[in-house]
Amino acid sequence: MLTANIEFRSDSEQHLSEIEHNLKSIHHIKVDLIKPLDQQAPALITIDIHRGGEETAHAIAQVLYDSLHTNVTTQNQKQIFLVTIEGDRVDIEPLNVQQITNVLLGAEAGL
Protein backbone atom coordinates (compact mmCIF):
# COMPACT_ATOMS: atom_id res chain seq x y z
CA MET A 1 0.00 0.00 0.00
CA LEU A 2 1.20 3.51 -0.84
CA THR A 3 0.31 6.51 1.29
CA ALA A 4 0.62 9.98 -0.18
CA ASN A 5 0.28 13.11 1.92
CA ILE A 6 -0.79 16.17 0.00
CA GLU A 7 -0.60 19.65 1.51
CA PHE A 8 -3.06 22.20 0.10
CA ARG A 9 -3.24 25.94 0.33
CA SER A 10 -6.41 27.08 -1.35
CA ASP A 11 -8.53 30.18 -1.68
CA SER A 12 -11.69 28.42 -0.49
CA GLU A 13 -13.11 25.49 1.45
CA GLN A 14 -15.30 24.76 -1.57
CA HIS A 15 -12.18 24.07 -3.63
CA LEU A 16 -10.89 21.60 -1.00
CA SER A 17 -14.26 19.86 -0.86
CA GLU A 18 -14.28 19.49 -4.65
CA ILE A 19 -10.80 17.95 -4.61
CA GLU A 20 -11.81 15.55 -1.84
CA HIS A 21 -14.98 14.57 -3.73
CA ASN A 22 -13.10 14.01 -6.99
CA LEU A 23 -10.42 11.91 -5.29
CA LYS A 24 -13.04 9.79 -3.50
CA SER A 25 -14.50 8.83 -6.89
CA ILE A 26 -11.29 6.92 -7.71
CA HIS A 27 -11.44 3.20 -6.94
CA HIS A 28 -8.92 1.46 -4.66
CA ILE A 29 -8.03 4.50 -2.56
CA LYS A 30 -9.02 5.94 0.81
CA VAL A 31 -9.05 9.72 1.20
CA ASP A 32 -8.94 11.69 4.46
CA LEU A 33 -9.20 15.49 4.47
CA ILE A 34 -7.85 17.25 7.54
CA LYS A 35 -8.88 20.90 7.64
CA PRO A 36 -6.71 23.22 9.75
CA LEU A 37 -8.09 25.23 12.66
CA ASP A 38 -5.85 28.13 11.65
CA GLN A 39 -6.94 29.54 8.27
CA GLN A 40 -3.30 30.35 7.42
CA ALA A 41 -2.21 26.72 7.81
CA PRO A 42 -2.49 24.27 4.91
CA ALA A 43 -5.09 21.53 4.73
CA LEU A 44 -3.81 17.98 4.50
CA ILE A 45 -5.21 15.19 2.38
CA THR A 46 -3.95 11.69 3.04
CA ILE A 47 -4.43 9.24 0.18
CA ASP A 48 -3.99 5.52 0.79
CA ILE A 49 -3.65 3.62 -2.49
CA HIS A 50 -4.64 0.01 -1.91
CA ARG A 51 -4.48 -1.33 -5.49
CA GLY A 52 -4.13 -0.20 -9.05
CA GLY A 53 -0.50 0.93 -9.22
CA GLU A 54 0.29 3.29 -12.05
CA GLU A 55 -3.30 3.51 -13.30
CA THR A 56 -4.56 4.65 -9.89
CA ALA A 57 -1.61 7.04 -9.43
CA HIS A 58 -2.37 8.53 -12.86
CA ALA A 59 -6.04 9.08 -11.92
CA ILE A 60 -4.96 10.84 -8.71
CA ALA A 61 -2.44 12.94 -10.64
CA GLN A 62 -5.15 13.98 -13.12
CA VAL A 63 -7.44 15.16 -10.30
CA LEU A 64 -4.61 17.13 -8.67
CA TYR A 65 -3.54 18.66 -11.99
CA ASP A 66 -7.10 19.62 -12.90
CA SER A 67 -7.66 21.19 -9.49
CA LEU A 68 -4.67 23.46 -10.05
CA HIS A 69 -5.34 24.41 -13.65
CA THR A 70 -9.10 24.61 -14.15
CA ASN A 71 -9.73 28.17 -12.98
CA VAL A 72 -6.91 30.43 -14.16
CA THR A 73 -8.18 33.49 -12.23
CA THR A 74 -7.59 31.78 -8.86
CA GLN A 75 -4.53 29.77 -9.88
CA ASN A 76 -2.16 31.97 -7.86
CA GLN A 77 -4.14 31.23 -4.69
CA LYS A 78 -3.75 27.45 -4.96
CA GLN A 79 -0.70 25.46 -3.96
CA ILE A 80 -0.35 21.71 -3.75
CA PHE A 81 2.69 19.99 -2.28
CA LEU A 82 3.37 16.28 -2.07
CA VAL A 83 4.96 15.60 1.31
CA THR A 84 7.36 12.67 1.17
CA ILE A 85 7.95 10.20 3.96
CA GLU A 86 11.27 11.97 4.61
CA GLY A 87 9.39 15.24 5.15
CA ASP A 88 10.42 16.86 1.86
CA ARG A 89 7.80 18.95 0.07
CA VAL A 90 7.50 18.69 -3.73
CA ASP A 91 5.61 21.55 -5.42
CA ILE A 92 3.49 19.81 -8.05
CA GLU A 93 1.97 23.00 -9.54
CA PRO A 94 4.48 23.30 -12.42
CA LEU A 95 4.34 19.57 -13.23
CA ASN A 96 2.25 17.86 -15.90
CA VAL A 97 0.06 14.82 -15.17
CA GLN A 98 2.76 12.26 -16.04
CA GLN A 99 5.32 14.02 -13.86
CA ILE A 100 2.87 14.07 -10.92
CA THR A 101 2.21 10.36 -11.50
CA ASN A 102 5.97 9.72 -11.40
CA VAL A 103 6.28 11.67 -8.13
CA LEU A 104 3.49 9.57 -6.60
CA LEU A 105 5.08 6.33 -7.80
CA GLY A 106 8.49 7.55 -6.65
CA ALA A 107 7.04 8.00 -3.17
CA GLU A 108 6.05 4.33 -3.28
CA ALA A 109 9.55 3.30 -4.33
CA GLY A 110 11.15 5.54 -1.72
CA LEU A 111 12.75 7.83 -4.29
Tens of pLDDT, residue by residue over 20-74, are 999 999 999 999 999 888 878 889 999 999 988 899 999 999 999 998 887 654 5
Is the residue at 77 inside a domain? yes
**What's the rounded Cα separation, in Å, for the pair 50 and 37?**
29
Is the residue at 19 inside a domain? yes
Q: What is the domain extent for residue 14?
A: 2-106
Q: Indicate which CATH number applies to the domain containing 36.
A: 3.30.70
DSSP per-residue string spanning the chain: -EEEEEEEE-S-HHHHHHHHHHHHTSTTEEEEEE--SSTTSPEEEEEEE-S-HHHHHHHHHHHHHHHHHS-GGGGGG-EEEEEPTTS-EEE-TT--HHHHHHHHHHHHHT-
Is the residue at 100 inside a domain? yes
pLDDT at 71: 62
Is the residue at 78 inside a domain? yes
Q: For the chain, how many structural domains are there in total?
A: 1
Tens-place pLDDT, residues 87-109:
788 999 899 999 999 998 886 55
